[in-house]
Amino acid sequence: MDIIFLGGLKIETIIGIYDWERTKKQTVILDLELAHDIQKAAQTDDITDTLDYYAISQRIIEFVEASEFFLVEKLAEEINRLVREEFKVPWVKLSLNKQGAIGEGTDVGIIIERGQK
């Protein structure tokens, strides 16, 4: 199976458990790997034969900006579900980075992998 990837999607959203996090948007950074057989698209050179990564990225941005989850785990699962269901992607690997969440480090986040390649 081939992989289409989206890297470094920076999105502002309400995320966190503390009172101040419920009133101030924070940046999350997403990296996604999406399983998709690109052979037909490579033969036809037609966008309808592949995953439209622009459409996927815009849908994710729209969803995340409107969300207000407490946990990065919940946000990651919901993004994964959205991509798999709406875009019929059989396997997704998602890295969600909530930079600055801890003062002692620059990065904190979660990586999940769902579905079958």
Please tell me the distance from the alpha carbon of residue 78 to that of residue 63, in angstroms, as a whole number.
Answer: 9
- pLDDT, tens digit (0-9, with 9 covering 90-100), for 39-80: 999 999 999 999 999 999 999 999 999 999 999 999 999 999
Determine the structural domain holding residue 23 and report its residue range.
3-115
In 18-52, alpha helices (H): 39-44
Instruction: Give me the number of domains the chain comprises.
Output: 1
- Residue 40 is predicted with a pLDDT of 96
Burial zone of 61 (CB within 10 Å; 0-12 exposed, 13-18 middle, 19+ buried): middle
CATH label of the domain that carries residue 50: 3.30.1130.10
Give the DSSP letter of residue 70.
Answer: S
Q: Which residues are catalytic?
A: 98
